[in-house]
């Protein structure tokens, strides 16, 4: 083969490897914050989540913890940005949102736990 064909073939292979890496990079949870709490019949916390660029998680578990006691929890799909979480009791500062995200990969299931202190 000529040098030009080798260069084109090498460029295509390098581009394929780069695209594979780009599309398999996991989107990390950048932030999770409580935007509002409503006190109707049952207290409900509205939570907003932002992600970095990449492949979104399959599912995310969000726990609201205050003084080592769980106040509420829910599981959402990885592309969801907002969620309302029913609370067992009202939440006061300081509290912590704990997010557990799960991704599928060639090596199996990948889990990442993050603490977002408020």
- pTM recorded for the entire structure: 0.77
Of 25, 27, 56, 29, nearest to 114 by C-alpha is: 29
- Please say if the pLDDT value at position 30 is more than 90: yes
Q: Give buried/exposed letters for 22-52 (b at 16+ CB in 10 A, else e).
A: eeeebbebeebebeeeeeeeebebebebebe
The answer to whether residue 106 scores a pLDDT higher than 80 is no
> Domain for residue 8, yes or no?
no
13 domain-assigned: no
Q: Given pLDDT bands bounded at 50, 70 and 90, which one contains residue 76?
A: very high
The pLDDT value recorded for residue 42 is: 86
Q: Which residues of 69-88 are buried (b: 16+ CB within 10 A; e: fewer)?
A: eebbeeebebeeeebebebe
Mean pLDDT of the chain: 86
pLDDT for residue 1: 65
Total of domains in the chain: 1
Give pLDDT, residue 83: 96
Q: Has residue 5 been placed in a domain?
A: no
> Residue 58 is part of which domain span?
27-117
Query: What CATH number has the domain bearing residue 74?
Result: 2.60.40.10
How confident is the model over 27-43, as a mean pLDDT?
Answer: 89
- pLDDT, tens only, 94-103: 889 999 999 9
């Amino acid at each position: 083969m000529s040098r030009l064909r080798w260069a084109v073939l090498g460029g295509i292979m390098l581009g394929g490897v780069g695209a594979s890496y780009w599309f398999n990079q996991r989107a990390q949870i950048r932030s999770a914050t409580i935007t509002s709490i409503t006190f109707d019949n049952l207290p409900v916390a509205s939570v907003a989540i932002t992600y970095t660029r990449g492949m979104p998680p399959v599912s995310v578990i969000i726990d609201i913890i205050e003084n080592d006691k769980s106040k509420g929890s829910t599981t959402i799909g990885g592309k969801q940005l907002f969620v309302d979480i029913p609370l067992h009791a009202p939440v006061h500062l300081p509290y912590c949102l704990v997010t557990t995200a799960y991704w599928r990969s060639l090596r199996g299931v990948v889990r990442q736990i993050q603490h977002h202190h408020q």
